[in-house]
Amino acid sequence: MALDLTATVADRGLDVTLTVGDREVVALIGPNGAGKSTVLSVIAGLLRPDAGHSELAGRVLFSLGTSAPAPTCLPAHDRGVAMLAQEALLFPHLTALDNVAFGPRSSGRGRRASRAIARRWLAEVDAAQYADRRPAELSGGQAQRIAVARALAADPALLLLDEPMAALDVAVAPALRQMLRRVLVDRAAVIVTHDVLDALLLADRVVVIEDGHVVEDGPTAQVLAGPRSAFAARIAGLNMVRGKAEGHGVRSPQGQYVEGLAEVPVEQGSNAVAVFRPNAVGVYVHPPGGSPRNVLPATITELEPHGDQVRVRAADLSADITPAAVADLDLAPGVQVVFAVKANEVAVYPA
């Protein structure tokens, strides 16, 4: 286990437990304000938690709180944790090469050795040609590459990435993502992201934080295919209804009942979720009298383009239908409709 973390930060309402394996990349996702950046700050040593315990590669990062036998809190520079933010934050007064060499030099290596290490990492991130440029002469994407090289050149035991692609052009992000995929192999890292692609392509595990607490933690494919938290469902682009298991389906606290197929047995009355894809949903103006077992009344809140289809949103649910259908049915925000989905398109599993 590379990182072991338990931390409480009272005035941010944070209370989390987290682990990261030796060569594992964990994606930390959640709504804004959930506490993801706070978690990174706590790990990096930039924020002192009120209580908790953390170890990285055998070294105690902090041990605080009333139950801690000997309170310790390592300063940031002693932790071996490197951080990459949305902004590259390259030191403006140093060249790209000296920026990347900063980590090795800070750990005591001489200038020449540090620069050699820096050149190697610049080549690794495909940025060797920018070695002698100053940060002011670099584009956002180039700067972010060099920031990655700088973080890795410091030889950290754990790498933290805080939405690294968020400030970049959509056109530039894919190249950076590919590069990260390459350099994160065999490395322990935590990446905070809003983008499902980051989770899918880079992360081995996904941890979902909502309101300062971990609500879901599991391998990427599993979480995105079968989300148990509202946010994971949203990021995976799936509809989800939570509630108590009843019969073959789930009854929500509001009284809605959705029937589906359970792959694993679900105990009656226990917490369960029913998940289905938007393009399995049909939209009707009048309730259909047909085979679909699930007929859910809804009021349209918005229509948005989704590929070559139109996504019809109604409160927490969405349906993908063709533009022609939207025109035929004369759909618009505020119109009362009915969402119908076949039971065999709905997956039910324990929450």
In the three-class reduction of DSSP (H, G, I as helix; E, B as strand; rest coil), residue 52 is classed as strand
Who's near 348: CB < 8 A, 6+ residues apart?
Answer: 245, 248, 249, 250, 260, 261, 262, 266, 272, 273, 274, 275
Site track 244-283 with another protein (rule: CB under 8 A), x = hit: ----------------------------------------
The correct pick among 83, 192, 223, 280 for binding another protein (CB under 8 A) is 83
Q: How far is the CB of 45 from another protein (least distance, A)?
A: 7
Q: How far is the CB of 44 from another protein (least distance, A)?
A: 5
- Count of residues that bind another protein according to CB under 8 A: 24
Quote the Cα angle for 186-84-140, to 5°: 115
Q: How far is the CB of 76 from another protein (least distance, A)?
A: 4
Q: Does 122 bind another protein (CB under 8 A)?
A: no
Q: How far is the CB of 11 from another protein (least distance, A)?
A: 16
| Residue where the block lists tokens 């063709």 | 322
Q: How far is the CB of 79 from another protein (least distance, A)?
A: 8
Q: How far is the CB of 75 from another protein (least distance, A)?
A: 7
Choice between 102 and 349, CB closer to another protein: 102
The correct pick among 91, 123, 139, 332 for binding another protein (CB under 8 A) is 91
The correct pick among 57, 60, 74, 89 for binding another protein (CB under 8 A) is 89
Contact region with another protein (CB under 8 A), list: 8-16, 86-94, 197-205, 222-230: 86-94
Gap between the Cα atoms of 168 and 86, Å rounded: 8
Q: Does 166 bind another protein (CB under 8 A)?
A: no
Q: What is the DSSP string of 92-105?
A: TTS-HHHHHTHHHH
The correct pick among 27, 29, 102, 312 for binding another protein (CB under 8 A) is 102
Site track 33-72 with another protein (rule: CB under 8 A), x = hit: -----------xxx--------------------------
- Name the strands in the sheet holding 281-284, side by side, starting at the edge strand that comes first in the sequence: 281-284, 336-341, 294-299
Q: Which of 96, 176, 194, 84 is nearest to 138 (CA)?
A: 96
As beta bridge partners, residue 268 has: none
Torsion of CA 72, 76, 78, 81, to 10 degrees: 110
Q: Does 73 bind another protein (CB under 8 A)?
A: no
C-beta atoms surrounding 341 within 10 Å: 25
The correct pick among 81, 122, 310, 314 for binding another protein (CB under 8 A) is 81
Q: Does 113 bind another protein (CB under 8 A)?
A: no
- Alpha-helix runs per DSSP H in the chain: 36-44, 96-100, 102-106, 111-124, 140-153, 173-183, 196-202, 220-225, 230-236, 323-329
The correct pick among 11, 58, 66, 93 for binding another protein (CB under 8 A) is 93
- Name the strands in the sheet holding 158-162, side by side, starting at the edge strand that comes first in the sequence: 72-73, 59-64, 51-56, 3-9, 14-20, 213-219, 205-210, 25-29, 189-192, 158-162, 81-84
Q: How far is the CB of 102 from another protein (least distance, A)?
A: 6
The correct pick among 58, 69, 92, 289 for binding another protein (CB under 8 A) is 92
Q: Nearest 5°: phi and psi at 197?
A: -65, -40
Residue type at position 81: V
Contact region with another protein (CB under 8 A), list: 56-64, 115-123, 148-156, 182-190: 148-156
Residues that bind another protein (CB under 8 A): 44-46, 75-77, 79-83, 85, 87, 89, 91-93, 102-103, 106-107, 150-151, 154
